[in-house]
Amino acid sequence: MDKSLRWLAIFATILMFIVMVAGSLVTKTESALGCGNDWPLCNGKWVPEYTLESLIEYSHRFTTGIAGIVVVIFSIAAWRRFRDNREVKSLAIFGMLFIVVESLLGASAVMWPQSSPVLALHFGFSLLAFTGVLLLTIFVLQRHKGNAFVKESVSSGFRKYVWAVTIYAYGVVYLGAYVRHTGSSMGCGVDWPLCKGQLIPELSGQAGIHFAHRVGAALLFFLVWGIALYAMNRYRESRRDVYVASMISAVLITIQIISGALVVYFKLHLYATIFHSMVITCLFGVMSYICLQVLKSPKVPFRHGKE
C-alpha cells in the first residue's frame, strides 16, 4: 500500500506539472479557442480536426481531465491511509477543490468571453491545485522523516514574514499571467532591465503593465533572499527543512529573474516563455512548502495516523 501510494503521489504531481506547462503552451500559442466555443467537444467533435491550435487545446483538456481523475484517486487514497491526520485531509481537499475550480474556469473561458483579469485567474488556480498535490506528495514521501526535521519552532516574526512573502508571490504570479493575457509581454520592447530605454517609463498601457510586473518581481527577489539569509543564519542546523527549502527558493527566484530577461531578449520565444512558467511553478511550490513547515512545532507534532 505504501509503495503504491508513493508512486501514485509522484505520478499525480508529474501530471499536474504537465497541466501547468500545457496551460502555458495554450496561452503562448493563442490556442485557447482552438476548439471553438465547444466544451467538452472540440469544434463539435470528440476527435478534433488536425490543426495545430485544436490539437494543443484538446491535448490540454485531455491532460487536465486525466490529471483530475488521478488527483482525486490519490487524495482519497492518502486520506484513507492517514485518516487521523489533519494535514493530509486539508491538503487533499485543497488539491481537489482547486483542480475542480480550475477546470470549471477553463470551460467557462471557452464557452463565454472572459476579461483579461478573469483569464489570469486560470493560471493562478492551476498553480494552487498543483501546490496542494505537491505538498501532499511531499508528506507521503517524507512522513517518516517529517518530525526529525522539526527540532525547534521558528519565531513568530519569521513565520509571518514567510507567509506574507508567499502571498505576495502569488500576486506577482497573477500579475505575470495578466501581462500575458493583455498582450503586454513586450510592453517594454526588447530592453531589459530598462523599459523602452528608460529607467521608469510612462506608466500607462502595455508598458505600464509590464513595468509593474518587473518591479513586483524585483521586490520578490529581495524578499525571497531575505527568507534564505535569515534561515541560513538562524535555522541551518535546527530546521534543515526550512533552511534547505529557503535556499532552493532563493536559487529559483534568481533563475526566474534571468528567465524573464530571456523572454524579452528572445522576443517571446516559445521555449523561453514555457521555461519562465515552469520555474515560477516550482518556486511557488517550494515557498508553499516553507509556509507549511514553519507552522510545525516539536512540542505538538502532526499525527501520522495508523502505521
Q: What is the residue-averaged pLDDT of the chain?
A: 85
Domains held by the chain: number: 2
Kindly state the DSSP code that residue 94 receives in the 8-state scheme.
H
The domain boundary residue, chosen from 143, 168, 190: 143
- 116 or 305: whose pLDDT is higher? 116
Q: What are the residue ranges of helices labelled H in 182-204? A: none
159 shares a domain with 301: yes
Q: Which domain holds residue 89?
A: 1-143
- Establish how many alpha carbons lie within 13 A of residue 6's alpha carbon, considering only the half-sphere containing its beta carbon: 7
The domain boundary residue, chosen from 117, 143, 169: 143
Backbone angles phi, psi at 200, to 5 degrees: -130, 110
Give me the catalytic one of 49, 57, 102, 202: 57
Does residue 255 carry a pLDDT above 80?
yes
**Is 49 annotated in the active site?**
no
**How far apart (Å, rounded) are the C-alpha atoms in residues 195 and 217?**
14
188 shares a domain with 129: no
Confidence of residue 39 (pLDDT cuts 50, 70, 90): low
39 shares a domain with 152: no
Confidence of residue 44 (pLDDT cuts 50, 70, 90): low
**What is the arithmetic mean of pLDDT over 202-227?**
92
164 shares a domain with 94: no
Question: The cell 523602452 sits on which residue?
Answer: 196
Check: CB of residue 150 under 8 Å from CB of residue 241. yes
pLDDT digits (tens, 9 = 90+) for 159-204: 999 999 999 999 999 999 888 878 888 888 888 888 877 888 877 8
Does residue 288 carry a pLDDT above 90?
yes
